[in-house]
């Protein structure tokens, strides 16, 4: 009898302490696991947000790079972490891609994580080597591609990468045939594009903006529904193909089992700092688009993306070996 009373009392104390603990979150440094190597296109935006979250909460948000296997190694580390809110994944469109296209998915993006918020969308841009592809517009390049099926080769960051999916969606939408050349990451793909080994790539704007401004690459179109402020003279693909839209995103996610109050508290902090004009300007300067989505909207978007990528994989036979 006494054991039952003690257990009941203990559970009651835990119930009382739970909200208090969530209200005090965070009480120590928070690890942000960025599942890509240092210096990548997501590095800058992540560190910009981490700095602002640290100032807002009074606790450091420490970015730790865990690159490997298309972003899945870092995601798996967070999935296995203690669900207390102190190990957070910097999630992206790679999460639903891996769930939908991997032959043996390492996780379920919708069920194995508690998604906190989205803080940026990442436009993709169609870039060409201007020496190999001397066409002044996307329309002219599409006409040349249709006239010579298989002549042009596109570089991607690997099978199942956003670069490959974006290129395949363009091929479907515009009826062209490009040859796929996969690389081990965006850096090597862009290096060979600049070097003239391939003709075109569909990459995150933050990865290519420097080369576009220097003239090493030419931007023909962005994959967003509307033009982006960083490249106001470059058309959006929705202009020639109404409804076309493809971009990736950045967000924060926690392991499944993290208390709902902890998820909510961090989400509210992200929402608060995202309203600041200074943060929006810094993210825009890093070639991403500031965008806040709460937990529910992020979860809904991930579920929809998993369905879209699964259907695309069935049509194009794209799959990922992890």
Q: What is the CATH number of the domain that holds 185?
A: 3.40.190.10
Question: Which one is predicted more confidently, 77 or 317?
Answer: 77
Q: What percent of the chain has pLDDT over 90?
A: 73
Taking only the tens place, the pLDDT of each residue in 278-316 is 999 999 999 899 999 999 999 999 999 999 999 988 988
Q: Are 271 and 292 in contact (CB under 8 A)?
A: yes
pLDDT of residue 64: 96
Q: Are 45 and 270 in contact (CB under 8 A)?
A: no
Q: 197: domain range?
A: 124-222
Q: Is residue 233 part of a domain?
A: no
Q: Give the length of the chain.
A: 322
- Going from the C-alpha of 269 to that of each of 120, 222, 234, 291, 303, the distances in angstroms are 15, 31, 35, 14, 24
Q: Is residue 229 part of a domain?
A: no
Query: In the predicted model, what is the mean pLDDT of residues 167-182?
Result: 94
pLDDT band at 4 (very low <50, low <70, confident <90, very high): very low
**Helix (H, G, I), strand (E, B), or coil: what is residue 61?**
strand
Taking only the tens place, the pLDDT of each residue in 186-240 is 888 999 999 999 999 999 998 899 999 999 999 999 999 999 999 999 999 999 9
The radius of gyration of the chain from alpha carbons, rounded to an integer in Å, stands at 21
The CATH number for 279's domain is: 3.40.190.150
Beta strand 200-204 with 113-128 is antiparallel
Are 155 and 257 part of one and the same domain? Answer: no
Q: Is residue 59 part of a domain?
A: yes
Structurally, the chain folds into a number of domains equal to: 2
Query: In the predicted model, what is the mean pLDDT of residues 243-257?
Result: 94
Are 253 and 284 part of one and the same domain? Answer: yes
Query: Among candidates 142, 141, 115, which has minimal Cα distance to 130?
Result: 141
Q: Which residues are paired to 102 by β-bridges?
A: 320
Q: Is residue 231 part of a domain?
A: no
d(CA 291, CA 285): 14
pLDDT of residue 18: 44
Q: Which residues are paired to 251 by β-bridges?
A: 91, 118
Are 272 and 304 part of one and the same domain? Answer: yes
**Residue whose entry in the numeric block shows the structure tokens 């690459």:** 217
Are 63 and 96 part of one and the same domain? Answer: yes
Are 97 and 134 part of one and the same domain? Answer: no
**Residue whose entry in the numeric block shows the structure tokens 């363009």:** 170
pLDDT of residue 5: 43
Taking only the tens place, the pLDDT of each residue in 64-108 is 998 877 778 899 999 999 999 999 999 999 899 999 999 888 899
Beta strand 61-65 with 30-34 is parallel
Q: Is residue 143 part of a domain?
A: yes
Are 111 and 61 part of one and the same domain? Answer: yes
CB neighbourhood size of 176 (10 A): 21
Displacement of CA 26 from its chain's centroid (Å):
25
pLDDT band at 322 (very low <50, low <70, confident <90, very high): low
Q: Is residue 167 part of a domain?
A: yes
d(CA 109, CA 86): 19
Tally of CA atoms within 13 A in the half-sphere of 140 that contains its CB: 8
Tokens for 34? 């960025």
Query: Among candidates 226, 316, 256, which has minimal Cα distance to 89?
Result: 256
Taking only the tens place, the pLDDT of each residue in 124-163 is 999 999 999 999 899 999 999 999 999 999 999 888 888 8
pLDDT band at 21 (very low <50, low <70, confident <90, very high): low
Tokens for 175? 């009826």
Q: Is residue 239 part of a domain?
A: no
């Amino acid at each position: 009898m006494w054991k039952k009373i003690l257990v009941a009392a203990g559970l009651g104390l835990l119930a009382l302490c739970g909200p208090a603990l969530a209200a005090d979150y965070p009480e120590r440094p928070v690890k942000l696991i960025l599942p890509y190597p240092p210096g990548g296109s997501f590095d800058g935006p992540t560190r910009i947000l981490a700095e602002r979250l640290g100032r807002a909460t009074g606790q450091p948000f420490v970015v730790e790079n865990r690159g490997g296997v298309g972003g899945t190694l870092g995601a798996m580390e967070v999935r296995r972490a203690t669900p207390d809110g102190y190990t957070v994944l910097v999630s992206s469109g790679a999460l639903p891609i891996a769930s939908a296209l991997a032959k043996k998915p390492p996780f379920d993006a919708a069920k194995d994580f508690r998604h906190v918020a989205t803080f940026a969308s990442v436009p993709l841009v169609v870039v060409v080597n201007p020496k190999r592809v001397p066409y002044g517009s996307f329309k002219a390049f599409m006409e040349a591609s249709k006239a010579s099926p298989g002549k042009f080769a596109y570089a991607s960051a690997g099978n199942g990468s956003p670069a490959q999916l974006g290129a395949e969606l363009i091929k479907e939408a515009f009826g062209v045939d490009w040859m796929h050349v996969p690389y081990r990451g965006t850096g090597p793909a862009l290096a060979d594009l600049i070097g003239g080994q391939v003709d075109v790539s569909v990459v995150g704007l933050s990865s290519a903006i420097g080369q576009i401004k220097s003239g090493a690459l030419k931007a023909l179109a962005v994959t967003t529904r509307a033009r982006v402020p960083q490249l106001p003279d470059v058309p959006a693909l929705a202009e020639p193909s109404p409804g076309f839209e493809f971009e990736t995103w950045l967000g924060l996610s926690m392991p499944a089992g993290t208390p709902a109050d902890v998820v909510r508290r961090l989400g509210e902090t992200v929402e608060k700092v995202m309203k600041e004009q200074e943060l929006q300007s810094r993210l825009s300067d890093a070639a991403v688009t500031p965008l806040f989505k709460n937990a529910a909207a992020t979860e809904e978007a991930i579920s929809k993306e998993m369905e879209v990528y699964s259907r695309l994989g069935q049509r194009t036979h794209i799959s990922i070996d992890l």
